[in-house]
Amino acid sequence: MLRAKEIHLASRPHGEPTPENFRTVEIDLPELQDGQILVRNIVMSVDPYMRGRMNDVKSYVPPFQVDAPLDGGAVGEVVETRSDAFAVGDAVLHGKGWRDTAVLDGRSAMKVDLDKGSPSAYLGALGLTGLTAYVGLTAVAQFKPGDVVFVSGAAGAVGSLVGQIAKAMGASRVIGSAGSKAKVARLLELGFDAAFDYHDGSVTKQLAEAAPDGIDVYFDNVGGDHLEAAIASMNKNGRIALCGAISQYNSTEATPAPRNLALAIGKELMLKGFIAGSYQHLAGEFSEKMATWLADNVIEWDETVVEGIDNAPQAFIGLLRGENTGKMIVSI
């Protein structure tokens, strides 16, 4: 009988998650049924949205259950198959991360070509992370060439792509905020026109200095004071894509911002929340462009890799603390 290691949710975090909220469990895997495949995971993704699923609240994805395995994006290799659609050795993208080995229905896995991208790229630039950046900027925030773009959490997986895509598509100026001097330096290397560390003082003031002519588009990964700062700097008819609110994910109280939302009336601003899954119709257009940008080195792709399934909880906790540059990946 095959054994597998899974990470379970031991208890719901209150505020910042701690290692005690997670438990590593060894289980016996069942025999494969018709149509199923056995996958040895190579890499798995930890993402900010998972924090929301650890709370017992209804959201766009159902909450994780206590004493059950977590899940999320992963890429692995088929090691046994009872599905005609897959052969042993195929690389697949699927949703059963947070474990070293997974039994999957073949219909819930997608073959990927490792000649075109690394396993982790399919969790990142070529995957849902990249799609999030692309559709948020283009379809949600209605980016047009010449726009001044501000992105928060800019050294994160989504943020670093947003800024680079904006530059590639003709932004007149791209500004990023991040949480350390090293990240700010990295943003400037990636082609951001300006970047600042939000620890260095008022976000509103730093953004106003970085964007003397205001901003037209804001891609919000952070919420809170960043959103307030963006509204203050927004030009008439500005557009805001609400993608994440990482500043609030560990909050135990409601966040009293933005306090200046009424400015949206006179400035005729648009704010739009989105989840990338609603824009799958743009996945083809996105994949084509992203593959070209990566091949031409127009867009660079950073990863922070944590080794070992046992360290996945620590990778996730570190992600929420901003310990990553680019995509946080667990190598299994």
**Nearest approach, Cβ of residue 243 and a second copy (Å):** 7
**Nearest approach, Cβ of residue 229 and a second copy (Å):** 13
CA distances to 65, 68, 100, 129 from 11, in Å: 9, 10, 21, 27
Residues near 1 by Cβ (< 8 Å), separated by ≥ 6?
28, 29
**Nearest approach, Cβ of residue 257 and a second copy (Å):** 7
190 vs 222, beta carbon nearer a second copy: 222
10 vs 264, beta carbon nearer a second copy: 264
For 169, the 3-state DSSP assignment is: coil
* 227 touches a second copy (CB under 8 A): yes
> Would you give the binding string for a second copy spanning residues 10-49, x where CB under 8 A is met?
----------------------------------------
Q: Which H helix or E strand runs over 132?
A: helix 128-135
* 260 touches a second copy (CB under 8 A): yes
Return the beta strands (E) in the chain as ranges: 3-9, 22-28, 36-45, 74-81, 91-94, 101-105, 110-111, 148-151, 173-178, 194-197, 215-220, 234-242, 270-273, 303-307, 327-331
* 208 touches a second copy (CB under 8 A): no
* 250 touches a second copy (CB under 8 A): no
Q: Give the count of residues interacting with a second copy (CB under 8 A).
A: 34
* 278 touches a second copy (CB under 8 A): yes
Cα R_g (the chain), whole angstroms:
20
**Nearest approach, Cβ of residue 157 and a second copy (Å):** 16
| 3-state class percentages of the chain: helix first, strand second, coil last, to nearest 5 | 35, 30, 40
User: What is the amino acid identity at position 95?
Assistant: G
* 151 touches a second copy (CB under 8 A): no
Q: Which of 85, 208, 270, 305 binds a second copy (CB under 8 A)?
A: 270
> Would you give the binding string for a second copy spanning residues 126-145, x where CB under 8 A is met?
--------------------
* 110 touches a second copy (CB under 8 A): no
39 vs 231, beta carbon nearer a second copy: 231
- Candidates 98, 70, 163, 31; CA nearest to 309 is 98
256 vs 284, beta carbon nearer a second copy: 256
* 202 touches a second copy (CB under 8 A): no
Rounded Cα gap, residues 9 and 223, in angstroms: 26
**Nearest approach, Cβ of residue 118 and a second copy (Å):** 29
Q: Where does residue 42 fall: left (phi above 0), alpha (psi -120 to 50 degrees), or beta otherwise?
A: alpha
62 vs 145, beta carbon nearer a second copy: 62
**Nearest approach, Cβ of residue 186 and a second copy (Å):** 26
Q: Which of 162, 165, 271, 319 binds a second copy (CB under 8 A)?
A: 271
Q: How do beta strands 110-111 and 101-105 pair?
A: unpaired
Burial of 213 (0-12, 13-18, 19+ CB in 10 A): exposed
* 275 touches a second copy (CB under 8 A): yes
Q: How do beta strands 22-28 and 91-94 pair?
A: unpaired
Binding residues for a second copy, rule: CB under 8 A, are: 52, 59-60, 223, 227, 236, 242-245, 248, 254-275, 278
